[in-house]
Structure 1
Amino acid sequence: MLEILGHNRIGGAHSAAGNDILYSLDAVTGETLPYRFHQATEAEVDAAAEAAAAAYPVFRSLPASRRAIFLEAIADEIDALDDAFVALVGRETALPAGRIQGERSRTSHQMRLFADVLRRGDFYGARIDPALPERKPLPRPDIRQYRIGVGPVAVFGASNFPLAFSTGGGDTAAALAAGCPVVFKAHSGHMASAACVADAILRAARRCEMPAGVFNMIYGGGVGAWLVKHPAIQAVGFTGSLRGGRALCDLAAARPQPIPVFAEMSSINPVLLLPEALKLRGEQIATELAASALLGCGQFCTSPGVIIGQRGPAFSAFVEALAGQIAAAPAQSLLNRGTLESYRAGVARMQAHPGIRQLAGPPEDAGNQARAKLFQADADLLLSGDPLLQEEVFGPATVVVEVADGAELKRALRSLQGQLTATLIAEPGDLPACADLLALLEQKAGRLLLNGYPTGVDVCDAMVHGGPYPATSDARGTSVGSLAIERFLRPLCYQNCPDALLPAPLQNANPLGINRLLDGVVSRAAVTQA
């Protein structure tokens, strides 16, 4: 058994001041695991935020190359987490070992991706407009801009990705890369897993001689409000429910100094099936879509929740084939009891709606496991913007909607709320209609797919994992990919500042050798003063 100390991590030390004890549970059996965790007190939350604030001036001033070495050290420590750790995560989440091992690799890859970003230097966004003293009618002063970390960031762990969107996940990696110390709120569904990853991060911090408060972690229900309201915290990263994300946004907006909340919340990820594709490969599409909808027992934020097709024999045959796939799916354990209860409540709302009928799946879930469900909803519900059809049912439930024709399809798309993804399944014969559909979907989603499936988010420079509300609280960002760092940066401008006082990215000689926008031209050249 792993030795896990269920203490809060504050300023590089352990803290267990509170008397309220939390327990980790086996996700399959509900059994209490032999790990105890001390819920953070308000004083401990304050201490964690203040430790991050004390670390910020030192951490943000470090050369980007030092932060890159730190991120790579974290990646090495995460990769070194052994089979006992994988088994522990499996007990807390019911996820299979192969999934956890893959997620561990993705988590370390994210750290290394941001290390590459730091060495590349484009995150600085350096812009230089040299002085034009002879300009008429008014001279131009020397103006230079680059980006710095906003300050300490509060990060909330997600339930469905206990590694990649949790303790050492994408929000933590992006914030640390930006030069922002982190206060992490551990998710109650995998507290022991969080402790192991937190200790891996702290080992890397000590090895790289980072300031003591660069990473902090707290446990407990209700402590998040204290954290978001703390004046030292300057931004929030969150992945979870719409209700939870909205609550954090409201808290942050009500502060004397409002701060941004980058919340990923709710998405039904519509999939549009065009006629020629259904005629040529409807059965294949049914098999592929079922695999996507059932992946991870439907507990992916990009799981296809609504499938839309045009009326006709091909769509009817597709629905029949999809229903067969869903009906054959075995029962599976969800991440935790709370997720199972939420899934059952969502299914019950679907079953109770007069405009929705169940096509596949048993009427009730058995025991501690969930069974997949397929529903069909009247097109009028989508066209009218019925809230139930816009809500994500987190788990293995999918809804099909039959529209009359292409015109009704466009009306249905206009009724959709913001999404993380939108997918078109099409053949060459469908392409004339795709341009208009894509133009509509560009206003609705952060990632558009053609002949692919939304589950599976690659961690790379071009990825966008975000979208218009309620998919996220701010459609201008992404929580996956190297662009995620920009959420935790702000622009800073220097005017007529002596070269010796400028930060390295803006100095005349360009000592970092980075690309800069120099007088409107991308260049690595030195600045020649007028």
Structure 2
Amino acid sequence: MSAPVWSVDPRTGKQREQVAVEATTDEVDRVVSAAHAARGALADRTVRAALLRTAAALLDSARDVLVEAADAETALGPARLTGELARTTYQLRSFAEVVDEGGFLDIRIDHADPAQTPPWPDLRRHKVPLGVVAVYAASNFPLAFSVPGGDTASALAAGCPVVVKAHPDHPATSELAAATLRRAAERVGLPTEVIGVVHGFDAGLDLVRHPLVAAAGFTGSIRGGRALFDAAAARPVPIPFHGELGSLNPVVVTEAAAAERAEQIGAGLAGSMTLGAGQFCTKPGLVLAPAGETGDRLVTALTDAVSNTDPGVLLDHRMRDAFLAGILERAELPEVKAPVTPGAGSEHTVSAGFLTVPARLLAEEGPHDVLLEECFGPVTVVARYDGDADITAVLGRLPGNLTATVQISAAEAEAEDGRAGALLAELTPLAGRVLVNGWPTGVAVAPAQHHGGPYPATTSTSTSVGGTAVERWLRPVTYQDTPAALLPPELREDNPLGLPRRVDGVQERGSADPTG
């Protein structure tokens, strides 16, 4: 008999209600097979765009119910969740615009050219959907990176049905969101099977191994993500696995920046590292700050700001236990100090804090290496450096990250050949997004956004945020010397769908009308 799936209140640790049961292997097969059978219904771009917009409208209409359910299961608070829902529906509408515009198909036509050496045949290339996409929901974003989130939105935009493995921290929210997406599918004349949801750890493994699943997107831990990545690669037919696994998100504060505005930097850092109880994937987890008086001012400002932060509730008690164990392990290391001790608040909360350590102890392999690993929760490590050599040595030991930040002075910002430029060059290989004089928490849903980074931040070079996230679920196909009557409409000479395309090397703008 399948195990029940319970909704749990993280504020009390008590079960709220049974929401579902864990899916068996046969049930996963049924859901995936139904999604696979429905993929042809998503071929029409007009219908896909309508689905995304209708889903956004229905989610907005269900705001109060969704926010209430998500808050009860995550303790993230109505204000934060209302903003997250707005982000979620904005993502859906943004991908509808991507579908309408059609540039994501990357159409390229090279006419036959016998003058080339060797001669060119007629070549016509575009991108087609991969098939059923498995989406693994994140714990810390029950809407924007869950059932109706960016992975789902981008996959549907690409023309791929989706089966979501719901996160156990918010199963009720997941079911409500899934029902809303299915209503949107019905309203635009699509089979509801284009959106599927399964629950359970074993179901997640069955999903990534299913022969009809063509790709997967994951947001979560290194351990869980790597297990699924390995399973995807070990299949008889391996599939793309786009996983976001973990990130330290280093920050470098130059001595000039600390001298110029230590108090402002300390307050900004406190706000970023404690946002959402430190449960953002872009939380700054390591800060390289100067030793000496300027660095002391920054630490004092950080101490004041963090000391005034209220205790928070983590997403579940398992994460709370891991946070407390991680803090204990780190705080016991030699020369590690805690100006504000992070740890237990009450029985169900945690208090924010930070640790300091001489940067030289992180420059070489040793017991302090744990400080270079992400600790999920409201804590950061301030490594005090004595010079540029310390910074370079520590940065040289870091794995890949989603973000890397540098805080520089006004004068450094104007010097083309100064230290700031050298730091940017050192940080660029470490991260997918490099920030100057900002804080990494908060990921704008914009066309130029990149939310990804070198491993273990992500398992691919793709982004999970922004319009180009759709590219993960597509593959290119080229037709050679194909009779006009047999070509897909996207590749016909008269461009009946009005799509943007590059013809013989020249970019042509489309009509931006998916119906042509």
What TM-score, normalized by structure 2, do the two folds share?
Answer: 0.95
Question: 1:509–1:327: structure 2 CA closer, same or farther, 3 Å change rule?
Answer: same
Q: Give yes or no for contact 1:51–1:212 (8 Å, CA) kept in 2.
A: no
Is 1:42 the counterpart of 2:25? The answer is yes
Query: Which of these residues, 435, 439, 449, is aligned with residue 463 of structure 1?
Result: 449
Query: Which of these residues, 308, 312, 329, is aligned with residue 292 of structure 2?
Result: 312
> CA offsets per residue over residues 29-82 of structure 1, 9 Å max, x none?
1121133311111100011111111112332x22x2221111001101111114
C-alpha distance in structure 1 between counterparts of 2:412 and 2:292, whole Å: 15
Amino acid in structure 1 at the alignment position of 2:443: V
Is 1:484 the counterpart of 2:484? The answer is no
User: What SS class does the counterpart of residue 358 from structure 1 fall into?
Assistant: strand
Is 1:518 the counterpart of 2:498? The answer is no
Question: Match of 2:389?
Answer: 407
Q: Give yes or no for contact 2:327–2:342 (8 Å, CA) kept in 1.
A: no
C-alpha distance in structure 1 between counterparts of 2:189 and 2:272, whole Å: 44
Question: Match of 2:103?
Answer: 122
Amino acid in structure 1 at the alignment position of 2:59: I
Q: Give yes or no for contact 2:5–2:20 (8 Å, CA) kept in 1.
A: yes
Query: Which of these residues, 473, 486, 491, is aligned with residue 501 of structure 1?
Result: 486
Question: Match of 1:10?
Answer: none
Query: Which of these residues, 67, 71, 74, is aligned with residue 48 of structure 2?
Result: 67
Q: Give yes or no for contact 1:327–1:361 (8 Å, CA) kept in 2.
A: no
Amino acid in structure 1 at the alignment position of 2:442: G
Q: Give yes or no for contact 1:129–1:144 (8 Å, CA) kept in 2.
A: yes
User: What SS class does the counterpart of residue 51 from structure 2 fall into?
Assistant: helix
Q: Give yes or no for contact 1:74–1:111 (8 Å, CA) kept in 2.
A: yes
Query: Which of these residues, 259, 263, 283, is aligned with residue 243 of structure 2?
Result: 263
Cα distance, 1:206 vs structure 2? 0.7
The count of residues paired between Structure 1 and Structure 2 equals 505
User: What SS class does the counterpart of residue 354 from structure 2 fall into?
Assistant: strand
C-alpha distance in structure 2 between counterparts of 1:420 and 1:362, whole Å: 24
C-alpha distance in structure 2 between counterparts of 1:283 and 1:75, whole Å: 41
Q: Give yes or no for contact 2:342–2:350 (8 Å, CA) kept in 1.
A: no
Equivalence map 1:348-359=2 (5 Å) = 348-359=328-339
Equivalence map 1:366-515=2 (5 Å) = 366-384=346-364, 387-431=369-413, 432-474=418-460, 476-515=461-500
Query: Which of these residues, 167, 171, 184, is aligned with residue 187 of structure 1?
Result: 167
Amino acid in structure 2 at the alignment position of 1:129: D
Is 1:32 the counterpart of 2:15? The answer is yes
C-alpha distance in structure 2 between counterparts of 1:82 and 1:524, whole Å: 38
Question: 1:148–1:156: structure 2 CA closer, same or farther, 3 Å change rule?
Answer: same
User: What SS class does the counterpart of residue 333 from structure 1 fall into?
Assistant: coil
Amino acid in structure 1 at the alignment position of 2:305: Q
Question: Match of 1:12?
Answer: none
Cα distance, 1:194 vs structure 2? 0.5
Amino acid in structure 2 at the alignment position of 1:34: E
C-alpha distance in structure 1 between counterparts of 2:273 and 2:263, whole Å: 15
Question: 1:449–1:501: structure 2 CA closer, same or farther, 3 Å change rule?
Answer: same
Amino acid in structure 2 at the alignment position of 1:357: K
Cα distance, 1:362 vs structure 2? 5.5
Cα distance, 1:297 vs structure 2? 0.7
Question: Match of 1:9?
Answer: none
Question: Match of 1:55?
Answer: 38
C-alpha distance in structure 2 between counterparts of 1:216 and 1:400, whole Å: 44
Q: Give yes or no for contact 1:274–1:430 (8 Å, CA) kept in 2.
A: no
C-alpha distance in structure 1 between counterparts of 2:267 and 2:410, whole Å: 21
Q: Give yes or no for contact 1:271–1:307 (8 Å, CA) kept in 2.
A: yes
Question: Match of 2:514?
Answer: none
What TM-score, normalized by structure 1, do the two folds share?
Answer: 0.92
Question: Match of 2:4?
Answer: 21
Greater shift in the superposed pair: 464-473 or 364-373: 364-373
Question: 1:203–1:406: structure 2 CA closer, same or farther, 3 Å change rule?
Answer: same
Question: 1:525–1:97: structure 2 CA closer, same or farther, 3 Å change rule?
Answer: closer
Amino acid in structure 2 at the alignment position of 1:67: R
Question: 1:196–1:362: structure 2 CA closer, same or farther, 3 Å change rule?
Answer: closer
Question: 1:141–1:313: structure 2 CA closer, same or farther, 3 Å change rule?
Answer: same
Equivalence map 1:98-137=2 (5 Å) = 98-132=79-113, 134-135=114-115, 137=117
